Amino acid sequence: MMQNRNSMNRRKFLETTTALAAGFAINPASALMASPQKGRVISVFHPRSVQAGRHISGPAVQQMLRQGLKALTGDERPWSRWIHPGDQVGLKINTLGRPFLVTHPELIQAVIDELKEFGIKENRIIVWDRFEQHMRDARFVLNSTNQGVRYLATEGDRGGPMRLDEKASYRSVLDQEQEREAGSAVSRISTIFTQECDKIINMAILKDHVATGVTLCLKNLAFGITDNNNRFHGIDHVGPFIADICALPIVKKKVVLHILDGLEGCFNNGPIPRSPSSFFTPQTIWLGNDPVAVDSIGRGIIEDQRRAKGLPSLASLKKPVGYIELASTKGVGECNLDQISIEKISIV
């Protein structure tokens, strides 16, 4: 009986995937993205990027970003590989770990400055996450006006706007039924993603996760662009959900760059760390077009730190970190570390 039910779910998912691919085609005139560089990651370390008292050096971060982008593209104008000056660009950040560990504002500002220098108008840049309250808790000031960089959330609080696309949804009964919102087996995709942004830059945090093992680029997308997704946190459900969402043609097409923010990271008690003892300071950012490769590197960094602290590995705790490999089987990217090329830059 369950096998038939899951087969029906798979058919529904394929129908949804087809609709998304057809309904949100990229305009060829603005599709400037170079071929994805599968299995290639740039690692940029700066020893003065994080200073005493958790002070982040904006100039150091700007230097890290510029050198990383140039190394990734081999181009003095790296954004031209992915973005047209007339595009509307979304920066998908992560604020779940508020107030202590969110995508660092200094890194966000560095990306904004680079985009503006490239020619993107300030009001055509959207910094966003799923929940309005999370963004407020992280001290971001929301701005939906036509002046300045916009800061938006998909789901408002206290009767605020709900930016959810009724025509772009993921249907699945392979979930924890008791965790469904209003009993629904449908997760809608944010209209910020489907309608308001031409291109997306994924800005994840280096963190472990109590349920999913790690929460890096892939999870920042899958759980960050959809609603009604607590139902997928079960060990048998999280992998297929993350892999399916990240394998959607619209996601693979629109998300042109993945940045893993490892200026600071969390190796234990994530994704909402409550103690500085869970933090470490790699002072590194990782960049790539391949989120599976970036996550494979990030997971290894977290495992190394856990080992150094005498903690058991995530794998031994049976954390469902296998979704990285599952996403790879769906063509999202390369997970085999032997096949991943990592270029390390150390700024002195």
Residue 28 lies in a domain: no
> How many domains is the chain built from?
1
Residue 31 lies in a domain: no
**Percent of the chain as helix, strand, coil, to the nearest 5:** 40, 25, 35
| Three-state DSSP string of 108-173 | HHHHHHHHHHHCCCHHHEEEEEEEHHHHHHCCCCCECCCCCCEEEEEECCCCCCECEEEEEEEECC
CB 287 within 8 A of CB 41: yes
Residue 117 lies in a domain: yes
Amino acid at 314: L
Residue 337 lies in a domain: yes
What domain range includes position 76?
2-21+39-346
Which pLDDT band holds residue 36 (cuts at 50, 70, 90)? low
Residue 33 lies in a domain: no
pLDDT higher than 60, residue 16: no
Residue 32 lies in a domain: no
Residue 27 lies in a domain: no
Return the percentage of the chain with pLDDT > 90, whole number.
82
Tokens encoding 270? 């994530």
Tokens encoding 31? 């599709």
Instruction: Give mean pLDDT, residues 42-50.
Output: 98
pLDDT tens digits, one per residue of 147-163: 999 999 999 987 778 99
pLDDT tens digits, one per residue of 208-221: 999 899 999 999 99
- pLDDT, mean over the chain: 90
Residue 29 lies in a domain: no
